Structure formats: structure tokens, C-alpha cells
Amino acid sequence: MDIQQLYDGAIDFIWNVGPNLILALVVLIIGFWIIKLISKGTDKTLDKAKIEESLKRFLLSLINIALKALLLISVASMLGVATTSFVAVLGAAGLAVGLSLQGSLSNFAGGVLIILFKPFKVGDVIDAAGHIGSVHSIQVFNTILKTPDNKTIIIPNGSLSNGSITNYTMEDHRRVDMTFGIGYGDDIKKTKAVLQSLIKADKRIFTDPEPMVVVSELGDSSVNFAVRVWTKTSDYWGVFFDMQEKVKLEFDKEGISIPFPQRDVHMYQQS
């Protein structure tokens, strides 16, 4: 009798639950197949958008987990499992995790914004968050800079995306600003001609925009010339340093003085 009851109960269970179970399995199989297609399509889209590799993997994992969670909840509801409490628990857990990871989420959001809007790219020289360096890599949570003396600086993307950024190498051309002072007794026109000849002799300096050599200031002890020339960004420091040396050598050759601070000491002898 007990066996008969168990048998009848099993038949009733299969009859009542069986169709839903088969439908749930079909939905589960088809759902995983669709999620796989969505992941592949998203991967191709992110590749076309040239999204940074670490961010791409993170986004794909996030999309994959979210879709699978929704699929499993849907399948569970088809089997008659109460999912309302389960969803509420997931929501509360998500809120708790979000509150505890505010800083990390801020850095993640900053990394997404940096990668999407591209205020700089790998190889650019930037001044940001109080540091100057070449961008070595852009990660999901941090950006890594290399300084000229080969120090590694790790900057959280949250503070980086919310602050001002100076990108020195985004443009192909840059203006080199220099100041040279001469004594009040020196010839201004001669000095101007010397500076213009040095500029003309340097093939790295563009003729358009036209170089500018003007008297910018009558200082306390010198007449200051402002020299502004345009060159390729890659030649910026080469032009700047070479001009400093060439101007000094040419001024010495032409007898043009470069004033420098001096101090006169007077000694008094008391009898």
C-alpha cells in the first residue's frame, strides 16, 4: 500500500511538474545559447570600439553574469519557486556591496570615462593629480604613469577623471616660449637680428606660424626678449635646449652681454 501511494505520488508529481520542468530545461538551454551569442556580439562591438582589453573583459564578465542570473531567476519562477524574496536579498546584498566599495566603484566609473572619451592615450605625456609623466597603461581602476627618471606612479581613475588634465602630446605641434635678457647698453636691433638668424638656421622650427622675436619687458637690470617659435611636439625639448646653448654662444661671439645678479660688498674700517 505504501509503495502504491509513493508510486501514485510520483506519477502526480511528474504529471504536474513534468511539463514545467521540461519547459524550464528548454528555456535554460536556449537561454544559455542566446547569452553566448550576445557575449560574442558584445565582444566584437567592443573590439571595433577599441576598448581597452582589461575593461573589455570586465564588461563581458559583468554582462555574462547579469544575464545568467536573470535566466536562472526566470527558470526558478517557472518551476514555482518564489523568487520575490530571493530578488530582495540580492538587491540588499548589492546595495551593501556598493556602499562598501564606493571608492573602487568611483575608480571603475572613472576608468570607463577615460577609456570612452580618451582625454589621453598610452604614450601621452600628461600633468594630472599633481604628477607629470608618460602614460604607461590605462587600467580599469588605475592609470600608471612613468616619470622621466623612470619612477612608476599609480593614480586612481576616480581622482584622475574628476580633476584637470594637461596633455602635452595630444597635438602634433607645440609652441616653444623662451626669454633672453640683454644689458641696457647692448644693441636691441643687433640682438633681434642674432636671434632671428639662429631661428632661421634651425630646420625644426616652422616658418608658419611665423616665429616671433619681440622686446617683452624692460626689467630691473635687463632688456628681455620674448622668443616664440612653433615646432613638432617631439622636437619641443630639443629646440628649447639647443636654443639656450646657441644663444649664449652667439651672444658671447657678438659681444652681447647677458645680465646676471651681482652684489657689491663695501667694507668700512673704523679707527
Number of compact structural domains in the chain: 3
CA distances from 48 to 51, 52, 60, 72, 137 (A): 8, 11, 14, 31, 20
Domain boundary residue, one of 100, 130, 151: 100
**113 found inside a domain:** no
Nearest to 143 by CA among 60, 54, 57, 58: 54
Q: CATH no. for residue 135?
A: 2.30.30.60
pLDDT at 52: 66
- Collapsed DSSP state (helix, strand, coil) of residue 265: coil
Q: Assess whether 22 and 49 both reside in one domain.
A: yes
Q: CATH no. for residue 223?
A: 3.30.70.100
pLDDT digits (tens, 9 = 90+) for 91-145: 766 666 565 555 677 888 888 888 778 899 889 999 998 999 999 988 878 899 9
Q: Assess whether 7 and 72 both reside in one domain.
A: yes
d(CA 257, CA 43): 66
pLDDT at 92: 67
pLDDT at 21: 74
Report residue 252: phi and psi, to 5°.
Answer: -65, -40
What mean pLDDT do residues 28-37 have?
90
Q: Tell me the average pLDDT of the chain.
A: 85
- Collapsed DSSP state (helix, strand, coil) of residue 185: coil
pLDDT at 189: 96
Q: Assess whether 70 and 95 both reside in one domain.
A: yes
Q: CATH no. for residue 19?
A: 1.10.287.1260
Q: Confidence class of residue 83 from pLDDT cuts 50, 70 and 90?
A: low
Q: Assess whether 16 and 94 both reside in one domain.
A: yes
**Least confident window among 1-10, 20-29, 52-61, 206-215:** 1-10
Where in the sequence is the domain holding 59, given as residue range(s)? 2-100
Q: Confidence class of residue 263 from pLDDT cuts 50, 70 and 90?
A: confident
What is the per-residue DSSP string for 107-139?
Answer: HHHHHHHHHHH-SS-TT-EEEETTEEEEEEEE-
Q: Assess whether 10 and 90 both reside in one domain.
A: yes
Q: Assess whether 163 and 184 both reside in one domain.
A: no
Domain boundary residue, one of 71, 100, 129: 100
Helix (H) or strand (E) holding 30: helix 2-48
User: Taking 60 as the threshold, does the pLDDT of residue 1 lie above it?
Assistant: no
Q: Which residue has the higher pLDDT, 49 or 122?
A: 122
